[in-house]
Structure 1
Amino acid sequence: MKRSTKIITIITVFFLIIAIVITARTMIGNHFKKKFSKRPPPGIIVTEVVKEEFAEKLQTFGTAISSKSETFKVRKNDVIGELNLKDKVKKGDLILNLKSGNVVAPFNGVLGYTGLTEDIFVSDNIFIITLDDNSIIFSDIKVPESYAPFIRKGLPVEVRVSSYKDKVFSGEIDFISSRINADTRSLLARIKIDNKDLELLSGSLLEITVKFNLRDSLSVPDTSIMMEGEKSYIYTVSDENIANKTEVEIGLRGDSKVEILSGVNEGDQIVAEGLKKVRPRGKIEPIKN
């Protein structure tokens, strides 16, 4: 066989192999495309864009203070009969029967007892009884100077205490000082907490959150947000159940929700969870959250 004929044969076989490979790949691709196109769209949890309250927060600590407090110092030998104190008293109730005169409750409250001690000014043993009205609790906090322009009377406050880890007590700013303390660069404010069930005790350490700059804004679950660099996206869902990748501007985050400043409207359907199963312009089977 001539050399030129061999070369032509080799080239022909080479291109024939390439053609077979291309044809095979095309057929396989079409096969899988048809196969997967027959699959039902993935079930995806969706939800609506809603309006919720958002607020910036100042977190600090304070000490619980009774709204009213009275201390009675009593000599042991002045008590008539046995000492039998009630836990709670009402205004006008007899607290102690003494030789020197009766001790009567000046207001509703809870009694406390410190036991016997030696007073440095008298020779007799004495004990101290306290009466606290804890139906309202106050606490003084120091607001950093940078937050002073945002703090005003009546702002809502959330209070937590270690003895009630799962409970949030509600309160408000009750008083604000008229000037910044030059030494601490802070503004003194007093908060007022409703404690009608008497769960908070005077002297307790309080974890205090002051809410300010309150507003109603568009809100989505934090699980619906996709971050790509500095940009944020969510999947909006059309009436035809098509997922569209949409850029949004986000604001505050907190409590498993994210504030949306622009990009969607109230009532829009969005993908709430399962972002990895969604493709841009892909069809989904919505599952209402």
Structure 2
Amino acid sequence: MKSVLLNGINLVCIVAKHSSLTSAARELNLTTGAVSQQLQAVEERLGFSVFERHARGIRLTEKGDKLVQSVTPHLAAIEDNVYKLTHVTDSKQIRLKLTPSLAFKWLVPRLDDFQKRHPEIQIHTFAEGALVDSESRDFDIAIDYGPLPYKLPQAELLMEESLLPVMSPGYFHHFSHLCASGTAEDWQQVTLLHDAMPWSDSAKDQEWKYWAEQHSLDFDTHQGHFFNRTDMAMSAAEAGLGIALARMALLGDELSQERLVAPFPAIRANAGYFIITHLDNPHTRLFKSWLKQQSLID
């Protein structure tokens, strides 16, 4: 009886997390109908309604909200302990998740140094998504980009970021007057290149809007070309498509080789890269220490 109720409460928490039977069913690999039936059985066992059904979906009742708030920390602790117990603590493999932009532009050029220092440790790098799901359990360490302060209090700041407008030499030749006057009207004439997803729930023009505000410029930043990765926007700038906001950590030799020019100073992004740890052992601690050392080199 107790195990059935615990499974039911876990189901309630999953549905509450998504606020959607369909999304919860997808996570559980069940049909929406099956989730609905199980939910009704849980409510009958509890003796009160956990969710209110309405035209736009479902929402927690007052009792349902109290239930979820009271059990969520305990379920998370159980999940965390099971994860640690089922993963060998002396494993010399580290599953690392991060964005493709940071992987290609920052991490990969440095990995040879780590391998030479610690050849016994294997780094399995996963960089398939433009955004990192930092709350997922399918990695040992993640590096996520986000605003300060970061959404997870246990995350460790790896490095703060700065934003730098960059463009091709040819594009700068046509718009060099931006440096002299740089009025809002002047900026309205250029093509902006965006990372449309710097972090989850951000506006598509988040970074350019922030840059304009920091320079007291009032022009439409919701124009130009939008990409789901910063390195793509930077490559588009190199191709002469417009002006991108490069992240300083992602710049390599583009400026020194004059493939890009940066006529404006960098500004603090009020955002940075954060380390999230799901497996704590001597090897992950060693890797995190190395990451922090690398962040100080540039």
> TM (normalized to structure 1)?
0.21
Q: Which has the larger radius of gyration?
A: 1
Instruction: Report the structure, 1 or 2, having the larger strand content.
Output: 1
> TM (normalized to structure 2)?
0.20
